């Protein structure tokens, strides 16, 4: 290899080292401040701030490989799936009412977001429609681009929905309960203290890798996490293993998730980000308010913990809300089941709406 060929590689490695250092600094600062989910929130805020300000270190821009997040997300799916047990499934019959409520929550949340983006932001119908999807991040981006939506605004609004929920929900629970939420609370997954055998390791790896492959093959919504989740649930329900991914790996996963989300803001014009932040803030506040209403009603009907139901309806990511559920010792299976259904319904509704938006654009073009 020619000496000049080493320079791009060295720059990429330096960019990764810098990004990692900034993410770790943010995580340690968040932990010192007793913030919830410090590894994820600290790295997100630190690298998000660097990205928005377009800062560099010795002229080198912080960067991480594009596919890094996709490597670690299945870890959360495997961890969530480990929470499924025969005893838990026996209680699943009590979830039917709240699961049915998700089918009402999703269109209401979508309609609220659409009105916010159309009336407050003046966004085009296609951009407003797909930006308002309360689930199915990557499906929203794919369908929105096909419908002619403004890709940059769509990407920003969808990621801000996730990020604001990740920031606000755990902080809100910390303020309400007086407890630190997340890894700072010292919460360990059930089964994390069990010894690992080679068979356990192989089963967990197989659930992660096999779940991703099957999820992609059958096009599961959010397949990166739902595929491993279903595979892990299957092997734990069958009693093949009771172990879960080690806490260290869960911590690294949180760090990577926060860091990669923060870097998404690189190169965004300040004006665009300011508008998107205002719109997303109103939208997330409206959806969280709607989730609180649903949680209060279902809490009264089902007797389920209010915090558990609220987490099940908060429009954040499956992985992120499940991590908060773990910290609060809420039923992770209950929370993740509702979020998976939310994503499925949101994507199904958007597919129907996709055709309507495209049809309307064709009518306008005549």
* pLDDT score at 279: 95
First-to-last alpha carbon distance for the chain, in angstroms, is 58
List all residues 6 or more positions away from 94 whose beta carbon is below 8 Å from its beta carbon.
Answer: 302, 304
HSE of 208, CA atoms in CB hemisphere, 13 A: 17
Whole-number Å distance between alpha carbons of 138 and 136: 6
Hunting for tokens 């093959």 — which residue is that? Answer: 217
Q: CA-CA distance, 362 to 356, in Å (whole number)?
A: 10
Alpha-carbon Rg for the chain, nearest whole angstrom, is 21
Contact assessment for residue 69 and residue 286, using Cβ atoms and an 8 Å cutoff? no
Is 151 inside any structural domain?
A: yes
Q: Which residues on neighbouring strands pair with residue 60, listed in sequence order?
A: 57
- Residues 6+ positions from 86 with CB-CB distance below 8 Å: 237
List phi, psi (to 5°) of 60.
-105, 125
Tell me how far apart the alpha carbons of residues 345 and 349 are, in angstroms, rounded to a whole number: 6
Q: Is 291 within the bounds of a domain? A: yes
- The model's pTM is 0.68
The residues that bridge with 57 in the sheet, in sequence order, are 60
Largest CA distance in the chain: 70
Size of the chain, expressed as the number of residues it contains: 366
Contact present, 150 and 127 (Cβ < 8 Å) = yes
Containing H/E element for 325? Answer: helix 318-327
* Residue 338, C-beta contacts closer than 8 angstroms, at least 6 positions apart: 95, 98, 99, 102, 312, 313
Its domain, for residue 226, covers 71-365
Q: Are 27 and 267 in contact (CB under 8 A)?
A: no
In the chain (366 residues long), the average pLDDT of successive 10-residue segments reads: 57 89 93 78 86 84 84 82 70 82 94 93 90 81 78 82 80 66 50 71 91 86 78 87 83 86 78 88 94 91 84 79 71 80 83 65 46
Instruction: Say if 66 falls within a structural domain.
Output: no
Dihedral pair phi/psi, residue 214, rounded to 5°: -70, -40
Question: Which is nearest to 315 in space by CA: 172, 170, 165?
Answer: 165
Please provide the DSSP assignment of 247-312 as one string: HHHHHHHHHHHHHHHHGGGTT--HHHHHHHHHHHHHHHHHHHHHHHHHHHHHHHHH---HHHHHHH
The residue written with tokens 């599961």 in the block is 220
pLDDT, position 27: 92
The answer for residues whose C-beta is within 8 angstroms of residue 16's C-beta and 6 or more apart is: 63, 64, 65
- Give the distance from CA 51 to its chain's centroid: 20
| Residue 322 forms part of a structural domain | yes
**Total tally of structural domains belonging to the chain:** 1
Give me the phi and psi of 304, to 5 degrees please.
-70, 150
In a domain, 23, yes or no: no
Residue 147 lies in a domain: yes
Residue whose tokens read 């260290």: 248
**Residue 303, exposed/middle/buried by CB under 10 A (0-12, 13-18, 19+)?**
exposed
Please report where in the chains the tokens 């990429």 appear, as a residue: 12
* Contact present, 52 and 273 (Cβ < 8 Å): yes
Find out whether 77 and 229 touch, Cβ atoms under 8 Å: yes
The reply to whether 19 falls in a domain is no
Q: Is residue 342 part of a domain?
A: yes
What is the C-alpha to C-alpha distance for residues 107 and 136, in angstroms, rounded to an integer?
A: 14
Whole-angstrom distance, CA of residue 299 vs CA of residue 207: 34
């Amino acid at each position: 290899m020619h000496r000049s060929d080493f320079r791009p590689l060295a720059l990429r490695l330096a960019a990764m080292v810098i990004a990692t250092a900034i993410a770790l600094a943010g995580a340690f600062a968040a932990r010192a401040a007793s913030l919830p989910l410090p590894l994820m929130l600290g790295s997100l805020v630190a690298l998000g701030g660097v990205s928005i300000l377009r800062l560099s270190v010795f002229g080198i821009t912080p960067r991480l490989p594009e596919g890094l997040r996709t490597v670690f997300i299945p870890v959360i799916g495997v961890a969530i799936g480990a929470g499924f047990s025969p005893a838990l499934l026996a209680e699943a019959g009590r979830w039917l009412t709240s699961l049915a409520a998700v089918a009402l929550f999703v269109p209401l949340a979508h309609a609220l977001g659409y009105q916010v983006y159309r009336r407050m932001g003046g966004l085009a119908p296609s951009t407003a429609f797909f930006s308002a999807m309360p689930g199915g991040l990557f499906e929203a981006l794919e369908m929105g681009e096909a419908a002619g939506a403004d890709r940059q605004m769509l990407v920003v609004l969808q990621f801000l929905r996730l990020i604001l929920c990740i920031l606000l929900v755990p902080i809100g629970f910390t303020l309400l309960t007086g407890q630190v939420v997340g890894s700072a609370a010292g919460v360990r997954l059930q089964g994390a203290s069990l010894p690992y055998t080679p068979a356990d390791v192989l089963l967990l790896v197989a659930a992660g890798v096999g779940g991703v492959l099957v999820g992609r093959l059958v096009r599961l919504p959010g397949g990166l996490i739902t595929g491993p989740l279903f595979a892990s649930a299957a092997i734990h329900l069958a009693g093949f293993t009771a172990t879960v991914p080690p806490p260290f790996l869960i911590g690294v996963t949180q760090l990577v998730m926060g860091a990669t989300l923060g870097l998404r803001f690189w190169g965004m014009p300040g004006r665009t980000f300011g508008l998107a932040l205002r719109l997303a803030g109103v939208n997330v506040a409206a959806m969280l308010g709607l989730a609180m209403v649903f949680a209060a009603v279902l809490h009264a009907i089902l007797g389920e913990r209010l915090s558990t139901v609220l987490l099940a309806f908060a429009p954040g990511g499956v992985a992120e809300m499940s991590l908060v559920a773990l910290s609060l010792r809420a039923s992770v299976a209950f929370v993740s089941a509702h979020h998976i259904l939310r994503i499925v319904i949101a994507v199904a509704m958007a597919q129907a709406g996709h055709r309507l938006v495209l049809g309307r654009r064709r009518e306008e073009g005549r």
